[in-house]
Amino acid sequence: MDQEDLNGANCELGYSLVETMMSFSIWLVTVCVFIPVSSHLYSERMEMKKTIEAYRILFEVKQEKLYERSIILDKKERIGSKFSIQQKEEGEILCVYWERENKIQEICTKSPL
């Protein structure tokens, strides 16, 4: 053996089994953590869009009642969801309903008139 072999200059270039397994496990943990988290964030973002759209519809209905003195109670479909508009307590409260995760959500506000 010459001196270069003892210093490791002529050793194989490559990864050992331990390094390969360590790298694979890091990638596996990363994928197993970030994919579910990003999926959850995406679904929460879509639900937030529905909530914001419900507030917009409620605002439009209040404006319609304020300026036209009447409301057309119907269902509106926006961003892939159906929103239902209803009045409560003899027209004193306006509500918008929509479905979120198989539960009915509502937002209500006092009618302007």
Residue 31 and residue 60 in contact, taking contact as beta carbons nearer than 8 Å: no
Please tell me the total number of residues recorded for the chain in this structure: 113
Spatial CB neighbours of 76, under 8 Å, sequence gap ≥ 6: 57, 82, 83, 85
* Alpha-carbon distances of 96 from 4, 26, 29, 99, rounded to whole Å: 79, 47, 42, 11
pLDDT digits (tens, 9 = 90+) for 19-78: 889 999 999 999 999 999 999 999 999 999 999 999 999 998 888 888 887 777 788 888
pTM: 0.68
